[in-house]
Amino acid sequence: MARRRLGFWRRFAVVLVLPLLKVWTKRTWAGMENIPATGGVIIVPNHASHFDPLVVAHYIYAAHRWPRFLGKASLWKVPVLGFLLRKVQQIPVERGSVEAVKSLDTLVEALNGGGVVVIYPEGTTTRQPDLWPMRGKTGAARLALLTGAPVIPVANWGAHTIYDPRTSKLKIRPGTPVSVLAGPPVDLSRWRGATPTRAVLEQMTEAILLEVQGLLGGLRGEQPPAGLYDRPAKRATAPGEA
C-alpha cells in the first residue's frame, strides 16, 4: 500500500511511532524483496520480545505495505489504545470463543482484500531459554489453507535487548541494533487442498516455524536447534484455585 493512501489515522500512528523507533533502533533490514508488493500475504515472525511487533511493523511499513496484526482482544479494551488499534485496522481475537471464528472471518476478508496479516505462530513470546522459536499454534496454517495466500517467514533479532521477557527489564538506549530478515514463501504445496485436520495443520505449522528458525539462525550467526522447542505444559489448577 502506497504511503500516500494511508489515511488520517494510520498516518497519525506513523508520525507518532516512527520517529521514536528511528532514534531507539539501528536497523538492518534484509530480504524485503520477498514481501509481495501487492495482494494478500501472511507474515509469520518469531516472537522473542514484547517490543518486536514494533520492529516488525517498521520493517513491513518500510516495504511499503501496511501490517495488520492479530492481537489479544483485551488490548482493545484499554482506553485510547483500543481506539487507536481499531482506527489503524488491527485485528482482535478472543481465544477459545465464538468470537475467534469472527476474527478468522476478518482475517480472510483482509487477505482477500489484498492486505498484509501478521500472525505470531507461537502465540506468545517464546519460552525457549535462548529465545529460539517454540512449537506454534495452527492459526496461520489454517488461514493459508483457507485463502491460498503466501506465507512469508520473518526472523527478527535484537528487540530482546530493549525488552527482555526473561528478566522483564526495559533498556532505553538510542541506536540499539535490531535486524529483520524475510525469506521466500514457505513451500506448502504438498498440503494444497488438504482437509484441515489437526495433523495437517500441525505439520504445516512445524514447516513454517522451521523456516523461521532457519532464518533466525542466519541473523544470529548461530546454528539453530535441530527441532522446535516443545511448549511448556500449562500448570494444572489445584482444587480451590481460581
Query: Maximum distance among all alpha carbons in the chain?
Result: 57
Q: Which three cell numbers stand for residue 49?
A: 520480545
Helix segments in 5-97, DSSP class H: 8-24, 52-62, 81-87
SS3 158: coil
Q: 60-79: per-residue pLDDT in tens? A: 999 999 999 988 888 888 98
CATH number for the segment(s) 3-220: 3.40.1130.10
φ/ψ (deg, to 5) at 168? 60, 30
Given the DSSP bridges, would you call strands 163-164 and 169-170 parallel, antiparallel or unpaired? antiparallel
Per DSSP, 176 falls in state: E
Which pLDDT belongs to residue 233? 72
The edge-to-edge listing of strands for the beta sheet with 67-72 is 25-30, 176-182, 151-157, 41-45, 116-118, 67-72, 91-93
Grid coordinates given for 205: 505449522
CA distance 98 to 95: 9
Q: How would residue 103 be classed by pLDDT, with cut points 50, 70 and 90? A: confident
pLDDT in tens, 111-169: 999 999 999 999 899 999 999 999 999 999 999 999 999 999 999 999 999 999 999 99
What pLDDT shows up at residue 216?
98
**What pLDDT shows up at residue 2?**
40
Nearest to 229 by CA among 158, 95, 124: 124
Which residues have C-beta within 8 Å of that of residue 17, sequence separation ≥ 6? 54
Q: What is the pLDDT of residue 95?
A: 65
Query: Residue 100: its pLDDT value, please?
Result: 63
pLDDT at 65: 96
Which pLDDT score is estimated for 74?
A: 85
Spell out the domain ranges in the chain: 3-220
The separation between the first and the last C-alpha atoms of the chain, rounded to the nearest angstrom, is 46
Q: Are the CB atoms for 117 and 41 separated by under 8 Å?
A: yes
String of b and e for 190-206 (b: at least 16 CB within 10 Å)?
ebeeeeeeeebbebbbb
Question: What is the overall mean pLDDT for the chain?
Answer: 90
Task: Check whether 238 has a pLDDT greater than 80.
Answer: no
Model confidence band, residue 54 (pLDDT cutoffs 50, 70, 90) = very high
> In the structure, what pLDDT confidence band is assigned to residue 232 with cuts at 50, 70 and 90?
confident
Determine what percent of the chain is predicted with pLDDT higher than 70. Answer: 92
d(CA 94, CA 73): 6
| Contact yes or no for 121/45 (Cβ under 8 A) | no
Q: What are the tens digits of pLDDT across the range 7-49?
A: 999 999 999 999 999 999 999 999 999 999 999 999 999 999 9
| pTM metric for this prediction | 0.91
Q: Which pLDDT score is estimated for 3? A: 44
The pLDDT, as a whole number, for residue 97 is 56
